[in-house]
């Protein structure tokens, strides 16, 4: 069999696998269900809130960008919470719990705060080590966006609005 024809047959044979692999690669990943402990002492199966659009924000009190963006995170939460939006702030393992508690209480953070004492939550979310890092999760629990560094808050708000309209 001539080489060009053989190559064409191989390409045809591999096409379904290639297309399937590409399709699988484009599907959003599901948010990890690693249990988290909230500051109030309660726990839940994962950082993302089931059935809600959730922003999971990894931060630290020692991160100046994190501290600077926190008022905008609060503003986003207050704007969209009644429409099914949740925010979860996950403090990094290296952040002293007393500092996280003090910061959260003094700023009266209105959303859930998690202290990731062991680093298991950051590891489950892909080995997060840079702060801030945030993930936007849709109502189905799929990660639809990842932000490293401060997000463009106008763009983030538009993404939240779009996801809130999805059923």
Single pTM value for the model: 0.83
The b-or-e profile of 32-60 (16+ CB within 10 A means b, else e) is beeebeebeeeebebbbbeebbbbbbbbb
Q: What is the pLDDT confidence band of residue 4, given thresholds at 50, 70 and 90? A: low
Return the CATH fold of 36-165: Glutaredoxin (3.40.30)
Residue 25, pLDDT above cutoff 60: no
DSSP H or E run through 144: strand 143-148
Q: How high is the pLDDT of residue 92?
A: 98
Residue 61, pLDDT above cutoff 60: yes
Q: How high is the pLDDT of residue 28?
A: 62
Q: Nearest 5°: CA angle at 127, between 124 and 128?
A: 105
User: Cis omega before residue 132 (within 30°)?
Assistant: yes
Give 145's contacts (C-beta < 8 A, 6+ positions apart): 135, 136, 156, 159
Longest dimension (CA), the chain: 76
pLDDT, tens digit, 9 for 90 and up, residues 76-87: 999 999 999 999
Q: How high is the pLDDT of residue 167?
A: 73
Residue 154, pLDDT above cutoff 90: yes
Strand partners for 89: 57, 113
Q: Provide the H-helix boundaries in 83-152.
A: 97-106, 120-124
Asked which of 3-7, 17-21, 26-30 is least confident by mean pLDDT, the reply is: 17-21
Report the mean per-residue pLDDT for the chain. Answer: 87
Q: What does the domain layout of the chain look like in residue ranges?
A: 1-28, 36-165
Collapsing DSSP to helix, strand or coil, 33 comes out as: coil
pLDDT, tens digit, 9 for 90 and up, residues 110-149: 999 999 999 999 999 999 999 999 999 999 999 999 999 9
- Closest Cα partner for 48 from 66, 28, 68, 65? 28
Q: Which comes out higher in pLDDT, residue 12 or 116?
A: 116
Q: Which comes out higher in pLDDT, residue 23 or 69?
A: 69
């Amino acid at each position: 069999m001539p080489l060009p024809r053989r190559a064409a047959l191989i390409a045809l044979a591999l096409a379904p696998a290639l297309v399937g692999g590409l399709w699988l690669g484009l599907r959003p990943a599901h948010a990890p269900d690693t249990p988290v402990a909230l500051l109030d002492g309660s726990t839940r199966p994962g950082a993302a809130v089931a059935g809600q659009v959730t922003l999971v924000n990894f931060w630290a009190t020692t991160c100046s960008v994190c501290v600077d963006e926190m008022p905008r995170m609060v503003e986003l939460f207050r704007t969209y919470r009644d429409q099914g939006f949740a925010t979860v702030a996950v403090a990094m393992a290296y952040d002293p719990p007393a500092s996280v508690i003090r910061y959260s209480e003094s700023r009266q953070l209105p959303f859930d705060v998690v202290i990731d004492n062991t680093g298991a939550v950051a590891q489950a979310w892909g080995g997060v080590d840079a702060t801030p890092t945030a993930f936007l999760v849709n109502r189905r629990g799929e990660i639809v966006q990842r932000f490293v560094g401060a997000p463009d808050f106008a763009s983030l708000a538009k993404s939240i609005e779009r996801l809130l309209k999805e059923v």
